[in-house]
Structure 1
Amino acid sequence: MRTRRGAPIWLIGPTRFAGMPRSQARIGIAMFVLLLAACLTALGSPGPRPSAGSGSAPNVAAADAAPPGQTDLLLYQTIVDGVRSGSPYYSVAAETQRMGHYPLKPFFAIRLPTLAVVQAALSPVLANLLLLLLCVGTILAWVHRLRPETTGLVPLGIAGLLVVAGLYVNLDPGFAVFHEVWAGPLIALSLAVRRPGHWLPAVAFGLSAMLIRETALLYVAIMAGFAWTEGERRETLGWLAAIAIFAVVLAFHAYAVALVTGPLDRVSQGWSGLEGFGFYVKLATISSGLDLVPQWLASLLLGTSLFGWIAWRDPTATRALAVFAAYAALISLLARSDNFYWALITTPLLLVGIVFAVDGLRDLIAAARDTRRITVTRVIR
């Protein structure tokens, strides 16, 4: 027997939990509690706060520490300034990383030149304005995307504010040199505009994200996988074409890095932080508007948001969940405590799930408490 769905609160359509059998709903509540408990493990996880003076050089051995005052923010800003002054990108990047005791090997220890070259070609004011326009475009795209899904202006306005909260760090001009600050909104924008049969803009935004930050490849691969499993062959080819273009660019990048590095240059110690899921939650909370509330509350809100994405019955939600899970696994296994900005690639959308969680929790609790019985009456004539 299945339960009835109550009247819509914030979502027009039913959630995944609407009409769920009571036994399954009770299991769902238990899983939700476990999700919240997993998020609370962030209370014991490391993670620097995202400020200009708190970073540390990535992949630097303890015995060969970076110079005092050296941060990732300073590194990327110095590279942009060098390119703006007329120096070739790869020469500037290699020399700056040597001076900061950063590794230059393997080749992806040096970022792709896309962001630095674009920022160097613009004045700082124009570069910050471009980032602001990207963030505003992301907010408007998601408001437009959710308009037909919500019951009125209140949930729609809250959804827009939650996107703003997710872009908390992205809207700070001081972090504009971080590659994830640009790649994250591009991925969010790609998800917002993708529709069946209308995928070209989504692919273009995904490719742009990859050309700025290599880890965006994970998002594009996920989107290609979904397109293939759903039988969207042309869309699948579009995502694969984006990956092929990125592979060619990456090959040229590897060659260019080889020309400016030598046998004495430092080699990365690798990415094997193994910090766990709580670490991802910690980084996601301090890299979003949740940084303004206590960590315990931020962890619970993030867990509720993830639950909301599970509740929303829509193909976009399924894709978003896969993206969140993939990057959560990547950060949990590979990121170190100085890599807080890795989470910025998922934070623009993460908190929107709170809107979906309202109806989802109501439906789940209602299903778990359902006490209806079927009474069979025999009629004797």
Structure 2
Amino acid sequence: MANPIWLKQPTAMAALPPAPARLVLGLVALLLAFCLTAVTAPEPPKAYGDAAHHAEDRADILLYQRIVQGLGEGEDYYPLVAESLRTGNYPLKPFVTFRLPSLATVQAAFPPAGSFLLMIGLAGAVLRVWWLWLGSATNGRRSQLIGAALLVCGVAVLAKPEMVPFHEPWAALLVALSLGCRTEERWGVAVVTGLAAMLIRETAALYVAVMAGMALIERRPREILGWGAALTVFALAVAAHAAAVSDVVRTDDPASPGWAGMLGFGFTVNVLRGTTSLAHLPTGPALLLTGLALFGWAAAPGALARRVLATILAYGTLLALFCRADTFYWGLMIAPAFLVGLVFVPDGLKDLIAAARLRPRTA
């Protein structure tokens, strides 16, 4: 077996028998072709969080700032949010149109600059734990730096001043931190961090469910209980939240149009491209790199890689089936670590081609 290129051990592709390896090779080619078809799929709005370019973003920022300001002045959260939503012509039904009070409560305790510094600190923690993991997975400083640079390309999209009012960037960074913290021996911090992500943005519950499912598949009963406990606490918090929302919503308040977008695989690819630094590249290469990053995570060895892949697939399915074009920010949950998958592509392709017995013949 040839030596790895950037990794310390062979990828998952190396263990494939020839026939399955050829099948996977064909599926990879098909994946890249399907990614290119995303040019005809719906695209998410550009420059999410850029108030200078989008009036809708500006309205959202003002909404969240008004809520934080009101909490700082001693107002009650739920009446404050209800009135703010009505003033901004936002839907108030169902109860999930109200964000949980966690983030606003924390931000009300800090000046605006303090909230941004808190976000930078969280991003720094993400970079730190993933830097250590990359050091254990790659075979040299160069490949570790490449992986870290790819991580920065995901994190940098989130850790910006204009993103501070939004809930998804905070939850996404916490999800990335939770993934990076989790090891076979120590998973408690990952559970607590995952719970924090859920209490900021409910869509992070899908990540925690994935982690519980992986623990179940791997027959890790104590870890199953940990993730299950986090989901239980979250469910109780959501139940209390729903009850509080019902007290301030009126029968004539508008309702959300729902979440049955059915926008398909191409939209998911466009979201993955648009919520990372790939958005700055030409469309064709960016779409191919999106597909290669997904393949990279499928090829990457180790427990963390399996969990990242499962999380990407879970959110990708959510985006394809239920996301509307204007709720594309659900995809931010997987943005921080997604491009790191590219660091596994050279070894993954090498191992896959070798397993398929498609190596060039020597003279």
- The answer on whether the counterparts of 1:114 and 1:211 sit within 8 Å (CA) in structure 2 is yes
Equivalent residue number for residue 7 of structure 1: 3
- Deviation of 1:369 after TM superposition, in Å, equals 4.3
Equivalent residue number for residue 27 of structure 1: 23
Partner Cα distance (2:24, 2:64) in 1 = 45
Match of residue 88 from structure 2: 100
* Residue deviations 1:13-35 (CA, integer Å, cap 9, x gap): 11112253333322222111111
5 Å-filtered alignment, 1:1-381, equals 5-18=1-14, 20-44=16-40, 45-49=42-46, 50=48, 51-52=50-51, 71-370=59-358
Mapped to 2, the partners of 1:98 and 1:42 lie a distance apart of 36
Cα-to-partner distance string for 1:62-116 (whole Å, 9 max, x where unaligned)? xxxxxxx863333223222222233222122111111111111111111101111
Q: How far did residue 56 of structure 1 move? A: 7.3
**Superimposed CA distance per residue, residues 129-155 of structure 1 (whole angstroms, 9 cap, x where no aligned partner):** 000011111011011012121111111
CA shift in 2, pair 1:34/1:72, >3 Å: farther
CA distance in 2, matches of 1:228, 1:161: 33
Q: In the alignment, residue 37 of structure 1 is paired with which amino acid?
A: A
Q: 1:270 offset after TM fit, Å?
A: 0.8
Unaligned runs of 5+ in 1: 58-68, 374-381
- How far off its partner does 1:39 sit? 1.8
Contact kept? 2:203, 2:330, Cα under 8 Å: no
State the TM-score, normalized to the length of structure 2: 0.94
Aligned CA distance change for structure 1 residues 371 and 288 (closer, same or farther; 3 Å): closer
* Equivalences, count: 358
Q: Using a 3 Å threshold, how does the CA distance of structure 1 residues 157 and 124 change in structure 2: closer, same or farther?
A: same
- Between Structure 1 and Structure 2, the one with more helix by share is 2
Distance 1:210 1:19, change over 3 A: closer
- The answer on whether the counterparts of 2:100 and 2:201 sit within 8 Å (CA) in structure 1 is yes
SS of 1:339's equivalent?
Answer: helix
Structure showing greater Rg: 1
- Quote how far apart the aligned CAs of 1:207 are: 0.2
C-alpha displacement at 1:46, in angstroms? 2.2
- For 1:238-259, what per-residue CA distance to the aligned partner results, in whole angstroms no more than 9, with x for missing partners? 1111111111111111111111
List alignment gaps of at least 5 residues for structure 2: none
Answer yes or no: is the 8 Å Cα contact 1:188–1:348 preserved in 2. yes
- Return closer, same or farther for 1:268/1:258 CA change in 2, 3 Å cut-off: same
Distance 1:284 1:53, change over 3 A: farther
Judge conservation of contact 2:134–2:148 (CA < 8 Å) in 1.
no
Q: Rate the CA distance shift 1:332–1:121 in 2: closer, same or farther, 3 A.
A: same
3-state SS, counterpart of residue 52 of structure 1: coil
- Percent sequence identity is 46
Does structure 1 retain, via aligned residues, the 8 Å contact 2:51–2:58? no
Greater CA drift, 199-208 or 289-298: 289-298
How far apart, in 1, do the equivalents of 2:205 and 2:55 lie?
25
